[in-house]
Chain A
Amino acid sequence: MNLMTARTGGLALLAVVITVAPVGFSNSYFYDVAVNAMFNAILCVGLNLLIGYAGQISLGHAGFFALGAYGSGILTERYGVPAIGALVLSAAVVGVLAFVVARPILKLKGHYLAMATLGIGIIIHIVLKTESGITGGPDGMSLGNFKMLGLTIKGDQMWYWVVGFLLVLAVWLSLNLIDSPVGRALRAVHGSEVGAEVVGVDTSSYKVLVFVVSAVFASVVGSLFAHKNGFITPDIASFFHSVELVTMVVLGGMASIYGALIGAVILTLLPQVLAAVEQYEAMILGAIMMGTMIFMPKGLLPSLLASLKRRGGGQ
C-alpha cells in the first residue's frame, strides 16, 4: 500500500539524514544543538500522538519532562541508583501519575482540558522550586553522566548517535501505534468522540493510554536530557516550556509525525538563529505562533504537502 511505503520510506530517510548530517558539523556546538533538537523531536512525537491523533491538548507536558529529569537526578545523586534504573523508575512513576490524573482530566473537553493540564504542569513546577531540600530549589541540581553496562555516554558526539537512534526508534514505535487497531480507535475518538462511543470504542481507555504513553516519552527524554546537560533547574517544568512543546507539535502539523519532528527542529534552532536579535526573540516567537495558527492552522507540513498536491494535480 502506498501509504506504508511512504511511511517506511520516511523512516529510512530520517535514518539517512541523521547519519549524514554530522558531515556538516564543524564543531561540537552543532552536535549539541542537534541533540537538543532530537530530544525535542522525541518529546513532540509523543505529544503529537496526544494532540494530533487523539485530539486532546496538554499544556503541562513539560511537567512530565521535568519529573523524569529530577527523578533521574534525585535517584542517581542521592540514592546511588544506576542511571538506567533511575530512568526506568522515573518513567514508571510518571506513567502511574499520568494514569491517575488521566481519567478525571480526560473527561474534560477543549479549554477545560487545557486548563487542567496547565494546572498540573504549574503545580509540578512550583513543587520543584519549593522543595529545595530534595531538588535543590531554584538553583537547580547537578547530575553525573549516563552510565549503562559499563559504557559511559559522554560528550555531544556520543549523545548524538544515542539520541539519533532513539529518535528513529520512537518514530517507528509511533508509526506502528498509529497503524494498529489502537491507532484507528484513536482517530475515531479524534473525529467524533460521541460517534466513536456509539460504535463501541472504549474512548476513555484509549485516551488514557495515549496520555500515559506521551507522558512516559516525556519522562524518558527528561532523564536523558538531565544526564547529558549535567545540570537541571525547575524552569524546565515551566508553563512556557509546555507551550513551546505544544507549539512545536502544532507548527509542524498535528496528526503528522514528521510534521511534529520538523516543528521540533525549527523551534529548537530558532533561538540559535535569533541569537543576534535576542531581545526580539519573544516577539518573534509570539508572532510565529500567531501567524502559523492563523494562516496555516493545519501546520507547516500538511499545508506544504497540500499545496504541492494542488500544483501537481493542476498540470
Chain B
Amino acid sequence: MFAAFLQYLFSGLTSGAIYALAGLGFAIIYNASHVINFAQGEFIMIGGMATATMVAAGVPIYLAIPLAMVASMLVGVAMEKFAVEPARNADVVTIIIITIGASIFLRGAAQIIWDKEFHSLPAFSGETPIAVLGATLMPQSLWVFGISAIVIALLWYFFNRTMFGKAMLGTSHNRLAAQLVGVAVKKVLLASFALSALLGAVGGIVVTPITFTNYEAGIMLGLKGFSAAVLGGLGNGTGAIVGGLIVGIAEAMASGYLSSAYKDAIAFIIILFVLFFMPSGLFGKRGTDRV
C-alpha cells in the first residue's frame, strides 16, 4: 500500500521537476515581457531531441549536452528577436497567436531537421533500480532531482546576487524605473528568452532517458509547465516550482489511484480550478484592472 504510494510519489516528483523547470521558464519570460510563451515546450523538445540525435550520430554525450543547450538558447534568442520584439506593443490575442505560430513553426522544423521517430538517451548512470521502502526509484530520477535542484539554486544566485540578475528582476517589477537607472531592457528581454530556453532544454535533456522524446514532445510538457506557472501564480518563481511539483504529484496520484487514461487531463483541470477560484495562484498578487 505504502509502497505503491511511494512509487507514485517518485514518479510524480520526477515529472513534477520537469514541469517546475518549464514553469520557471514561463515565469521568467512573463516577468520580463508579460508574454505567455506558448513555445516554451518546444525549448524542452529541442534540448532532448538535439542531444538524442547527436548522441545517436556518435557525438560524445558530454559534448552533445552543452551543444543542445546552446542550440536551444539560440532558438530562444531568435524567437525573441524576430517574433516577439517586432510585436512589442500588440494586444494579447496577437501575441498569443505569434507564440503559438512559433511553436508550430519549431515543431515543423524539428520534423524536417530530425524526424518523427521517438528517440532516447542512455540513462546517465545506468538503469539499476534503487529499492526504497518497497518502491523502486530509477537512478535517472535522482539525476532529474539533482540537476533541477542545482539549476534552481544557480538561478536563485543569479537573480539575487548578480547585478544583471537584479536588473532583470527590477525590470519585471518596474520597467520604467529600470530604464531610468540605465538597464538596457531590450537585453533583459533577450536574456529572459535565452534563460527560459536553457531551463527548458535542461529539463528536456535530463528526462529523455526516462520518457523518450519526439518532435511533438513539447506540446504537453509546455502546457503542463504552464499549468504549474498558473498554479503557482503567474510570474512567481517559487510558485512555479511548487506548482510544478504539485501538478506532477497530482497527475501521478490520479493516474495510480483513479484512472491512467485521464492522467493528461489533471493538469488542465488544475488550470481551470485555479482560474475559477484563485486566479492569482498560490503565491501571486491580486491584480486590478487599470482603466
**Chains A, B in direct contact (C-beta < 8 Å):** yes
A126 to B97, CA, bound (A): 23
Q: What 5 A-B pairs are tightest by C-beta distance, nearest first?
A: A286-B105, A282-B108, A289-B101, A283-B108, A286-B104
A105 to B276, CA, bound (A): 7
| Given A130-B261, A290-B83, A116 and B107 contact (CB-CB distance below 8 Å) | no
| CB neighbours of A114 from chain B (8 A) | 36, 92-93, 96
| Given A51-B93, A250-B93, A293-B97, A115 and B271 contact (CB-CB distance below 8 Å) | yes
- Since A119-B275, A290-B105 are in contact, a sample of 13 more A-B pairs with Cβ atoms closer than 8 Å, ordered by chain A residue number, is A105-B275, A111-B36, A112-B230, A112-B279, A115-B36, A116-B272, A116-B276, A126-B268, A130-B262, A192-B291, A247-B97, A254-B93, A288-B101
B101 touches A239 (CB 8 A): no
B102 touches A115 (CB 8 A): no
A284 to B107, CA, bound (A): 11
Instruction: Show the binding face of A for B, using Cβ within 8 Å.
Output: 51, 57, 59, 104-105, 108-112, 114-116, 118-120, 122-123, 126-127, 130, 192-195, 239-240, 243, 246-247, 250, 254, 279-290, 293-294, 297
Return the contact of A294 from the options B91, B96, B98 (Cβ within 8 A): B98
Bitwise interface map of B from 107 to 119 toward A, beta carbon under 8 Å scored 1, else 0 = 1110110000000
| CB neighbours of B91 from chain A (8 A) | 297
| CB neighbours of B90 from chain A (8 A) | 293, 297
CB distance from A240 to the nearest CB of B (A): 8
| Given A109-B289, A111-B96, A250-B94, A119 and B105 contact (CB-CB distance below 8 Å) | no
A115 touches B103 (CB 8 A): no
Nearest neighbor of B264 in chain A, beta-carbon distance: A126
A279 to B223, CA, bound (A): 25
A104 touches B104 (CB 8 A): no
| CB neighbours of A250 from chain B (8 A) | 93-94, 97
Bitwise interface map of B from 271 to 285 toward A, beta carbon under 8 Å scored 1, else 0 = 110011001000000
A63 to B269, CA, bound (A): 15
Nearest neighbor of B108 in chain A, beta-carbon distance: A282
| CB neighbours of B96 from chain A (8 A) | 57, 59, 111, 114
Among A240, A285, A286, A288: residue with most chain B CB under 10 A: A286
| CB neighbours of A243 from chain B (8 A) | 97, 100, 104
B36 touches A123 (CB 8 A): no
Return the contact of A289 from the options B104, B271, B279 (Cβ within 8 A): B104
A127 to B262, CA, bound (A): 8
A130 to B106, CA, bound (A): 29
A122 touches B94 (CB 8 A): no
| CB neighbours of B291 from chain A (8 A) | 192, 194-195
| CB neighbours of B275 from chain A (8 A) | 105, 108, 112, 115-116, 119
| Given A279-B111, A282-B111, A297 and B261 contact (CB-CB distance below 8 Å) | no
A194 touches B289 (CB 8 A): yes
A123 to B93, CA, bound (A): 22
A168 to B202, CA, bound (A): 52
A126 to B105, CA, bound (A): 24
A282 touches B107 (CB 8 A): yes
| Given A115-B226, A130-B261, A108 and B279 contact (CB-CB distance below 8 Å) | yes
A282 touches B262 (CB 8 A): no
Asked if B142 CB lies within 8 Å of chain A CBs, one says: no
Asked if B265 CB lies within 8 Å of chain A CBs, one says: yes
Instruction: Show the binding face of B for A, using Cβ within 8 Å.
Output: 36, 83, 86-87, 90-98, 100-109, 111-112, 219, 223, 226, 230, 234, 259, 261-262, 264-265, 268-269, 271-272, 275-276, 279, 289, 291
Nearest neighbor of A132 in chain B, beta-carbon distance: B261
Query: By DSSP majority rule, is chain B's interface helix, strand, loop, or mixed?
Result: helix
A122 touches B268 (CB 8 A): yes
Return the contact of A280 from the options B98, B108, B271 (Cβ within 8 A): B108
Among A59, A111, A254: residue with most chain B CB under 10 A: A111
| CB neighbours of A294 from chain B (8 A) | 83, 86-87, 98
A116 to B268, CA, bound (A): 8
B92 touches A239 (CB 8 A): no
| CB neighbours of A279 from chain B (8 A) | 111-112
CB distance from B189 to the nearest CB of A (A): 16
| Given A282-B108, A288-B101, A119 and B93 contact (CB-CB distance below 8 Å) | no
A286 touches B87 (CB 8 A): no
CB distance from A116 to the nearest CB of B (A): 5
CB distance from A167 to the nearest CB of B (A): 24
| CB neighbours of A111 from chain B (8 A) | 36, 92, 96, 234
A289 touches B276 (CB 8 A): no
| CB neighbours of B105 from chain A (8 A) | 282-283, 285-287, 289-290
CB distance from B175 to the nearest CB of A (A): 18
Return the contact of B109 from the options A126, A283, A288 (Cβ within 8 A): A283
A110 to B92, CA, bound (A): 6
A115 to B87, CA, bound (A): 21
| CB neighbours of B265 from chain A (8 A) | 122-123, 126-127
A104 touches B276 (CB 8 A): yes
CB distance from B70 to the nearest CB of A (A): 22
A-B contact pairs, 19 of them (CB 8 A): A57-B96, A105-B275, A111-B92, A114-B96, A118-B271, A122-B223, A123-B265, A123-B269, A123-B272, A282-B105, A282-B111, A283-B105, A287-B101, A290-B83, A290-B105, A293-B87, A293-B97, A294-B98, A297-B94
